[in-house]
Amino acid sequence: MNSISERLKSLGLALGFAQIGIAPAVTPTGFHRLLQWIDNGHSADMQWVERRREAYRHPDGVMPGTRSVIMAAMNYNDGAEPAGGGRVARYAWGSADYHDVLKPRLLKLADLLRSEVPTARTRVVIDTAPLLERDFGRLAGIGWFGKNTMLISRTIGSWFVLGAVLTDVELAYDKPVEQNYCGSCTRCLDACPTDAFPEPGVLDARRCISYLTIELRKEPIPVDLRNGIGEWLFGCDICQDVCPWNRFAPEDTLPEFRHLVSMNPIDCRELLTLSVEEFHARFDSTPLSRPGRAGLLRNAAIVLGNAKDRTAEPELLAALDDEEPLIREAAAWALGELGQ
């Protein structure tokens, strides 16, 4: 199956992926770490992880009979360095949701496989199925787990998203990355503003700004963590920004990931004035729809409170009358930070 594997890789690179690797379907070592992580409460409120914990044991949990996992890494770094409040994580700076960019390309890989092996079964996975994608990225030779828990590639750093194609066809497998190239560096651990790493390589999602601003959608953000959020409106890149392996990360990405001025930074004052309809019109096709209007406007109020910018008072005062209690509470907190 060497030649099919090679053809899959060539097609993947031609489709815009930066790295493609192939791993056998096994129980990854990360499965036991995952169980421990859940049992320690570090998965926070992400009940979908806990509910499906057994399914993560083996790719069979996603597609019975899986023998191979094709892992594809898509670089989203275009080298832009915008600054300012209302910051958005780099993967969401472009014009499209990365799921929509990866899916048609992964389907093309699956099509190629089925054209070579007509009986092949395939399943495309991006993020939503219980697959330990980073573990399979390591097994497929793409990178190692940094102390910041990200998968880091020696050639493309960590500014990439992963997708997978599962198949019941046996392919030629890449060598896993066994070495950890972090060395004595602790930059990511030292830079995290909310102390979200209880130890190197372990993330306590309950304290991570990415979790708090994206996944914690229906609850207030704990007050003791709000100042640490600083100017992050959606996600957080700090532990990747400081990583030396990203200094030389390539800057050639697809047009869909190129930085749009309207996507970062985002004017939080203007954001606070968006109606439900305006929010959907502006964000529905982007990752920023994930926390919903209530979650994103709650975040905007916290960013404005942290900025201590008194010119934001009119928008914050108006937000005290919002129909969403989550937004009202955050606006009241922000006004308190402004000395109101």
- Positions annotated as catalytic residues are 127
Structure tokens at 86: 């209302």
Q: Which stretch binds ligand SF4 (CB under 6 A): 33-41, 90-98, 207-215, 321-329?
A: 207-215
Residue 5 sits in the site that holds ligand SF4 (CB under 6 A) = no
Residue 108 sits in the site that holds ligand SF4 (CB under 6 A) = no
- Applying CB under 6 A, among 192, 214, 302, 316 the residue interacting with ligand SF4 is 192
Do the beta carbons of residue 232 and residue 303 sit within 8 Å?
yes
Residue 182 sits in the site that holds ligand SF4 (CB under 6 A) = yes
**Dist. CA 308–CA 303, nearest whole Å:** 9
How many residues line the site for ligand SF4 (CB under 6 A)?
A: 23
In the bound state with ligand SF4, the residue whose beta carbon lies nearer, of 5 and 158, is 158
- Applying CB under 6 A, among 5, 194, 286, 299 the residue interacting with ligand SF4 is 194
**Dist. CA 64–CA 62, nearest whole Å:** 7
- CA–CA distances in Å: residue 249 to residues 57, 83, 93, 138, 269: 32, 19, 17, 18, 33
**Dist. CA 183–CA 162, nearest whole Å:** 24
Residue 137 sits in the site that holds ligand SF4 (CB under 6 A) = no
Identify the burial level of 95 via C-beta atoms within 10 angstroms of its C-beta, where 0-12 means exposed, 13-18 middle and 19 or more buried. middle
Nearest CA-CA partner of 153 in 240, 30, 262: 240
Residue 253 sits in the site that holds ligand SF4 (CB under 6 A) = no
Give least dist CB 179 to ligand SF4, A. Answer: 12
**Dist. CA 292–CA 284, nearest whole Å:** 9
Residue 40 sits in the site that holds ligand SF4 (CB under 6 A) = no
What is the DSSP code string of 259-323? PPGGGSS--HHHHTT--HHHHHHHHTTSGGGTTHHHHHHHHHHHHHHHHT-GGGHHHHHHHTT-S
Residue 332 sits in the site that holds ligand SF4 (CB under 6 A) = no
DSSP three-state, residue 302: helix
DSSP three-state, residue 47: helix
Residue 239 sits in the site that holds ligand SF4 (CB under 6 A) = yes
Give least dist CB 243 to ligand SF4, A. Answer: 3
Give least dist CB 105 to ligand SF4, A. Answer: 27
In the bound state with ligand SF4, the residue whose beta carbon lies nearer, of 68 and 148, is 148
Residue 303 sits in the site that holds ligand SF4 (CB under 6 A) = no
Give least dist CB 118 to ligand SF4, A. Answer: 43
Nearest CA-CA partner of 91 in 302, 264, 270: 264
In the bound state with ligand SF4, the residue whose beta carbon lies nearer, of 16 and 235, is 235
- Other C-beta atoms lying within 10 Å of the C-beta of residue 255: 11
In the bound state with ligand SF4, the residue whose beta carbon lies nearer, of 24 and 244, is 244
- Other C-beta atoms lying within 10 Å of the C-beta of residue 310: 12
Q: Which stretch binds ligand SF4 (CB under 6 A): 33-41, 52-60, 100-108, 234-242?
A: 234-242
Structure tokens at 202: 């372990």
Structure tokens at 287: 């990752």
Site map for ligand SF4, 141-180, x if CB under 6 A? -----xxx---x----------------------------
Q: Which stretch binds ligand SF4 (CB under 6 A): 165-173, 189-197, 253-261, 297-305?
A: 189-197
- What is the contact surface with ligand SF4 in residues (CB under 6 A)? 146-148, 152, 182, 185-188, 192, 194, 196, 203, 208-210, 236, 238-239, 242-245
